[in-house]
Chains A and B, each alone.
Chain A
Amino acid sequence: MSKDIALLDDLLTRMLAAGLIDLDIETDGRRIRMRLGNGSALSDAGEPVAVLSSGIGQFRAAHPRRPGSSISLGDTVQAGATLGYLQSGPTLLAIAAPMAGTMTEILATDGDTVGFGDRVFMIKGRS
């Protein structure tokens, strides 16, 4: 059940990041359809929003070539900005901000193994 919520949460984050209002996918033999209503809850509520891991790997707070460049609590982030990294073998994925806002929580420590859909950061929108 919590996995399903994480999946839906992730889909919602992706829809918002991509500006989609209607989503229809098939995954693991299931079909999921999501449609956003007018005025998404995210931007109105002002509640912190979870930034989720988009894959499985080791959390890296800073890019290996830029040690000391990790994000801190209270930092202002731009939409699309890289907040942290997910290392998988010799490749890195970005954990990107789905919207502009302020960093309110950092839920992973450098080197932690994180899974698909895990909450890594909480950011609060600017509205």
Chain B
Amino acid sequence: MMEILSATPLATIQDTGRHGFYHDGVGRSGAMDGLALALGNGLLGNEANAAAIEVPLLPFIVRFETDLDVALTGADCVARLDDVTLPPDWAFSVSAGQTLTLSALREGCRAYLCVAGGIDVPEILGSRSTQLREAFGGHDGRMLARGDRLKAIWARVGLPGGGLGASAAAAALPLGEPGQTVVRVMPGSEYDRFTPESQSSFWTSDWRVTPQSNRNGYRLAGSALTMRDSSELRSHGVVPGVIQVPGGGQPIIQLADAATMGGYPKIGTVIEADHWRLAQAAPGATIRFVETDVAGARAAQAQLDAFIADVRAMAARQRGAAERWS
């Protein structure tokens, strides 16, 4: 059991998302940075879809009322367990009465607190994710607030004494220059209706993440994209990653809490294997798009899955070695 002592708005419980209800108008939800969730759950030996707390704004302070093993992944922030500083992407043991404080961000913008077995909230439509717009799932269908008390499904997972970490995802899966956010994009169904100049500037411009960016989507700012014709479109299905271009020519990337339908032209889609990169791009950061195709997207997903599987397998060995010593 743990109690939230301080939470800025927008902290929510998320797992890998709610799949298979698009026909009912229920979007995917789920962790924005699915890789951070996978690494945290992998370090702890949890099921892949165990629920964690997604923390997009700091500070976040939680006090543990019982002994528990947890993992902190995603954004690198100043994190302390009582007064001991914690490394990033780290699984560690906490004792009843200890307090975890996440304060200033160093890199990235979303931290994930995973717990042994996952956060124990009811599964609704096959997921524990918070469906914010429809107000169900997670903790009472809402953002976490001070005083909320949450329970983990397990307690201890046999971590080594000093803790257990995953190596940096950005170093294991490099794309572009260090510190730069580059994501791979497949051209969308209306790509050919944009002017050649706009098609070219889409791939070559820096796109700035504006403050009007959240779990629904990121509004980007850059050179306006124009179409050769402006005929109306009917509404069509939209999935996380779709890049729409409304009338003003400034793109929107639809993300975890995107509506299931929309009528804006689609210039492209960010491949799923790169969504974690977007999740850690804070307002003010710039994004670059590079073109890929279905084969490229599949290869990227295979590489991402292999990294997660490696961490999970080696973490299991390290926990096994620690168990024999306990």
Contacts A55-B321, A82-B162 given: A94-B314 contact, CB under 8 Å? no
| CB of A76 within 8 Å of the partner chain | no
Contact with A along B150-177 (1 / 0, CB 8 A): 0000000000111111111001100000
CA A48 to CA B321, docked complex, whole Å: 28
CA A64 to CA B167, docked complex, whole Å: 7
CA A85 to CA B162, docked complex, whole Å: 10
Find chain B residues with CB under 8 A from A55 CB: 160, 318, 321
Contact with B along A69-98 (1 / 0, CB 8 A): 000000000101110010111111111100
Find chain A residues with CB under 8 A from B188 CB: none
- Of all A-B residue pairs in the complex, the 6 with the closest CB atoms, nearest first, are A94-B162, A96-B162, A92-B165, A91-B314, A89-B314, A64-B168
Contact (Cβ within 8 A) A92 B310: no
| CB of B222 within 8 Å of the partner chain | no
Interface residues of A, dominant DSSP: mixed
CA A17 to CA B322, docked complex, whole Å: 14
Contacts A78-B84, A89-B310 given: A94-B165 contact, CB under 8 Å? yes
Considering only residues 38-57 of chain A, those with a C-beta below 8 Å from chain B are: 54-55
User: Which of B4-12, B85-93, B127-135, B283-291 contacts its partner?
Assistant: B85-93
Taking Cβ atoms with an 8 Å cutoff, the residues of B that contact A are 43, 76, 83-85, 87-89, 106-107, 160-168, 171-172, 307, 310-311, 314-315, 318, 321, 325
Number of interface residues of A (CB under 8 A): 25
Among candidates A17, A66, A89, A94, residue contacting B88 with C-beta atoms closer than 8 Å: A66
Taking Cβ atoms with an 8 Å cutoff, the residues of A that contact B are 14, 17-18, 25, 54-55, 63-66, 78, 80-82, 85, 87-96
A91-B166, A91-B314, A93-B160 given; 19 more Cβ-contact pairs under 8 Å = A14-B325, A18-B161, A25-B325, A55-B318, A63-B87, A64-B168, A64-B171, A78-B83, A80-B84, A81-B84, A82-B163, A85-B165, A90-B314, A91-B165, A91-B318, A92-B87, A93-B163, A94-B87, A94-B160
Find chain A residues with CB under 8 A from B164 CB: 91-94
CA A81 to CA B80, docked complex, whole Å: 11
Find chain A residues with CB under 8 A from B318 CB: 55, 88, 91, 93
